[in-house]
A and B are shown apart, each in its own frame.
Chain A
Amino acid sequence: KAGVTQTPRYLIKTRGQQVTLSCSPISGHRSVSWYQQTPGQGLQFLFEYFSETQRNKGNFPGRFSGRQFSNSRSEMNVSTLELGDSALYLCASSLGGQGTYEQYFGPGTRLTVT
């Protein structure tokens, strides 16, 4: 099976712009979660989508949003970028059902905001 893929792998944006990141989960996985990783704050949960519905949400401002499509692919959007949004954005997929706990992470998208 192919692993989790994320596009693009690297991105440079200017403060105030908006950005959309994409994640394709492992085939058959219905849950996609997004995380932000920075040296200062570590790995922080953004949100989780399961069967096209947001199932859990972290403590990030409304500028961070996401969605999931019927094929389980997910996108996250960050509007009005700030310098502090520079980070590695990771998505993780899992089967998502009761009792499943193993998440498979993609390689991440490295976002730099200048």
Chain B
Amino acid sequence: GQSLEQPSEVTAVEGAIVQINCTYQTSGFYGLSWYQQHDGGAPTFLSYNGLDGLEETGRFSSFLSRSDSYGYLLLQELQMKDSASYFCAVRDTKGGGNKLTFGTGTQLKVEL
């Protein structure tokens, strides 16, 4: 079956660095994405890894190791507005297909 595991909750202080891990087991793998969702809001795209390694976008970085079926999202210089749920998602179809299997989500709480 398809499964993506993430920690359910992470708490950190403002200004700190936090890492949210994601391990996956899927029938196909064509990339790992990360989405942020604030309470009552829509998921918004953060990052994508199609190949092994680190991708950096401002304060956010994402890493992928396909051999370990593992990735993580790194958030630096945490701000209160980063308090939200974070989802990893695997694209498990070839080509331009957008069938995403989402992880269980990690609720990040940023404290003063």
Residues of A in contact with B (beta carbons under 8 Å apart): 4, 31, 33, 35, 42-45, 48, 50, 55-56, 58, 90, 92, 94, 96-108
Contact = CB atoms under 8 A, between A and B. Distances in A.
Interface string B7-39: 000000000000000000000000101010000
A31 B45 contact: no
Interface residues on B, range: 20 to 34
Closest 3 CB pairs of A and B: A43-B102, A56-B99, A105-B42
A108 B39 CA distance: 13
Which DSSP category, helix, strand, loop or mixed, fits chain B's interface?
loop
Interface string B88-107: 01010101111111111100
B7 to A, nearest CB: 14
A11 B75 CA distance: 36
